[in-house]
Amino acid sequence: MTWGQAAPSPDAPPVSSVPADNSTVDAGPPRETLHVTSNLVSEYFTVRDKHNALIPNLTKNDCTVWEDKQQQKISNFVAEANQPLTLGILIDTSGSQQYVLPLEQQSASAFLKRILRPKDEAFLLSFDVGVNLEQDYTNNVRELEQAINKVQINTAAGGGSAGVPGIGQGPVPTIGAPKGTLLYDAVYLASNNKMRTETGRKALILLTDGEDEGSETKPKAAIAAAENANSIIYVILIADRAQYFGYGIGYTGDMQMRSLTQATGGRVINVGNNGKKLEDAFDQIEEELRTQYVMQYVPANRNMDGAFRRVDVFCKDPTEGLKVQARKGYFAIGDQDSDQ
């Protein structure tokens, strides 16, 4: 796997703070700072009503947090998580994505132009027969856009070439388990090598058909790495299912990705191969990331035994039931940083 320089320290500024158009960027109102210690667990989440609309104005008194079925005392609660955002864009460049890659590139670039603020940062990773760090952490949208535009389909013979083991004839994957799309390896490496050292709000956004071929990392290990990094995973499922069925190959990407996203507080957005739906998917992710809550608590169980701790967040409203979108838990590992 190809990787650039190590991630910056959690307290370091972004690599570059040049706005996309070299104009002055309004940083907005002062950020509300959470003072954390190594004992605090941070839980980022969004809340929706029964009509699926985001709820922006809940208070500490509206929500409770439970760890392993034991209610915890909330230490901090911020209703609008206007803290620095760390993003990882993971683009599937395997042969099956040949026809949709230009759509992914255009929409991902536009998304980053809209969402990145002066103290935010992002990196770009591609995955196919390998996992490649295309652009390390930066706030410079131009650098990210250039990296996005340079990614290419790679089937080990280049550009969807025929006869490559694990890829088959053209852009449709074949049945079998040879290396071809190292999706879970990519999630593990992005979580463990890039996101884990960062603090604050963190999200990995995968643009993929959801099919993995040949990863050494098992799905549970990829999920655990994301949970340990406290990183939300969104999957924009972009694929032309007709291609799969036309070649007699079953399509299971959506089912595989739901477990990955639900465990980390994210979700799957299925766009098929529709450019408008892809743009809407990025809009939805942007809205959710800008309408987050964060609560923090000191766990009653202080034993750092490496066990998985299930976390449940509940929020209530006098008039209707609310749905919380949050990660399912974390691993209690000693000597963690402050952003568990």
pLDDT tens-place string over residues 287-305: 898 888 999 999 999 888 8
What is the pLDDT at residue 96?
85
Distance CA 241, CA 210 (A): 11
Secondary structure string (H, E, C) spanning 170-215: CCCCCCCCCCCECHHHHHHHHHHHHHCCCCCEEEEEEEECCCCECC
Calpha distance 32→119 (Å, rounded): 13
The strand pairing partners of 207, in sequence order, are 91, 236
Using pLDDT thresholds of 50, 70 and 90, give the confidence band for residue 257: very high
Task: Please list the residue range(s) of the chain that carry CATH number 3.40.50.410.
Answer: 85-289
Minimum mean pLDDT range among 25-34, 99-108, 224-233, 275-284: 25-34
For the segment 42-56, the average pLDDT, to the nearest whole number, is 88
In this structure, which topology does domain 85-289 adopt according to CATH? Answer: Rossmann fold (3.40.50)
Of 22-36, 110-124, 212-226, 265-279, the least confident: 22-36
The predicted-structure confidence for 1-39, as pLDDT tens digits, reads as follows 454 333 333 333 333 333 334 333 333 333 344 444 457
pLDDT, tens digit, for every residue of 67-110? Answer: 999 999 999 998 765 678 999 999 999 988 888 999 999 999 99
85-92: strand order across its sheet: 131-138, 121-127, 85-92, 201-208, 232-238, 268-272
Q: What percent of the chain has pLDDT over 90?
A: 53
Closest listed residue to residue 294, CA positions, set 53, 118, 99, 40: 40
Write the CB contacts of 146 (distance below 8 Å, at least 6 apart in sequence). Answer: 135
Dihedral pair phi/psi, residue 270, rounded to 5°: -90, 120
* pLDDT of 218 above 70: yes
CA distance 145 to 290: 22
| Alpha carbons 118 and 120: distance in angstroms, whole number | 6
Distance of CA 43 to the CA centre of its chain: 15
pLDDT of residue 179: 58
Average pLDDT along the chain: 79
Q: Is the pLDDT of residue 170 over 90?
A: no
More confident residue, 37 or 265: 265
List the single range of 72-81, 138-147, 279-288 with lowest mean pLDDT.
72-81
- H or E element: which one contains 148? helix 141-150
54 pLDDT exceeds 70? yes
Instruction: Provide mean pLDDT across the span 155-175.
Output: 39
Beta bridge partners of 239: none
Is the torsion defined by CA of 171, 185, 116, 150 positive or negative? negative
Give 324's strand partners.
47
C-alpha distances in Å from residue 205, one per residue of 35, 126, 237, 245, 270: 28, 12, 10, 26, 13
Per-residue confidence (pLDDT) for residue 241, from 0 to 100 = 58
Closest CA to 82 of 292, 265, 287, 286: 292
Q: Which pLDDT value is given to residue 233?
A: 97
State yes or no: pLDDT of 160 exceeds 80. Answer: no
Which helix (H) or strand (E) covers residue 137, if one does? strand 131-138
Report the share of the chain in percent with pLDDT over 70.
74
Answer whether 190's CB lies under 8 Å from 92's CB: no
Distance CA 292, CA 223 (A): 21
Whether the per-residue pLDDT at 340 is higher than 90: the answer is no
Binning pLDDT at 50, 70 and 90, where does residue 173 land? very low
The residue among 172, 190, 300 whose CA lies nearest residue 240 is 172
Q: How many CB atoms lie within 10 A of CB 336?
A: 17
- Cα distances from 265 to residues 40, 60, 108, 159, in angstroms, run 19, 19, 21, 34
